[in-house]
Amino acid sequence: MRNDDVKTIGILGAGRVGTALARRAVAAGFDVRIATSKPAADIAFLLEIMTPGAKADQAETAISAADIIILALPLSKYRALRPELFAGKIVIDAMNYWAPTDGILPEFEATSSSSEVIQAYLPDARLVRSFNHMGYHEIDEEARSPGDPDRRALALAGNDPQARRVVADFVDRLGFDPVDAGTLAASRNFAGGTPIFGAKLGRSEMQSLLEGKARALSTAGSDA
């Protein structure tokens, strides 16, 4: 898929993050469909007010129609996703594991990158982690045009280089500077507990933080 072929965005989840991303994606000219665990009719009223221009849909049809799917559901609900629907799809994981609200989930306790658990659960999805380290209201409030000195950076990581390029272009069109952090394992470098999580960073600050992290990881690896 070429970057300019991306027309339809499917968002799973209509909470704070899902609706903020939907508003930005509508503003950027995408066709946006949102699905939750409820029937489309049940969320149509909510979306009409919160995300004008986005359509309420069922998960199955939203996923099938979408060029990019965004996971914006509570992480603890990920097992409700049907892996077969995601085969070959570009999927953005915007979720974070946070035990105090998700409950203790052993599979996430055992890893420092929740996205690797999600990728293992959706083995045929072309998963890219992004948007997870920025507050939901900043997605709405801090989008800027390319070249704006106050433009914020968003890190992304995934194992499929072409999917990363497509997602980078999407991030850019939503109003942020994409910074490619590498494979999905590197997504731990912008997870909770890192200096990137929740920080307001421009592209060069983000790049230097990620490079430092990557060096620390490879040094730690060679010592082991």
Partner 1 sequence: MEIGVYSFGDVQRDPATGKLGSTAQATRNLLEAIQLADQVGLDYFGIGEHHTYEMPASAATVVLGAAASMTKNIKLGSAVTVLSTDDPVRVYQQFATLDALSNGRAEITAGRGSSTESFPLFGHSLNDYDELFAEKLDLLLEVNEKESITWSGKFRPALNDALIVPRPDAGSLPIWLATGGNPHSSVRAALLGLPVAYAIIGGQAARFAPLADLYRRAAEQAAIPGAPVKISIASPGFIGDDAAKAKDLWWTHWHAAMSSLGAIRGFAAPQRPHFDQDANGGGALFVGSAIEIAERVVNLHRSVGHMRQFFQMDLGQLPQKDFLRSIELLGTQVKPLVDAELGIAKPQ
Among residues 195, 216, 218, 219, the one that binds partner 1 under rule CB under 8 A: 195
Q: Strands 153-158 and 126-130, how do they pair?
A: antiparallel
Asked if 60 and 10 touch (Cβ cutoff 8 Å), the reply is no
Per-residue x/- marks for partner 1, 150-189, CB under 8 A?
A: ----------------------------------------
Which residues are 180's β-sheet partners?
Answer: 156
Among residues 39, 44, 45, 124, the one that binds partner 1 under rule CB under 8 A: 45
Q: Retrieve residue 163's tokens.
A: 């999917």
Could you say which residues in the range 138-157 bind partner 1, by CB under 8 A?
Answer: 138, 140-141
Among residues 98, 107, 169, 185, the one that binds partner 1 under rule CB under 8 A: 98
Q: In what order do the strands lie in the sheet with 90-93?
A: 55-56, 31-35, 8-12, 68-71, 90-93, 126-130, 153-158, 177-182
Per-residue x/- marks for partner 1, 46-85, CB under 8 A?
A: x--xx-------------------------x---------
Which residues are 130's β-sheet partners?
Answer: 156
Instruction: Return the closest-CA partner of residue 169 out of 18, 19, 4, 11.
Output: 4
Residues that bind partner 1 (CB under 8 A): 14-16, 19, 45-46, 49-50, 76, 98-104, 135-138, 140-141, 191-200
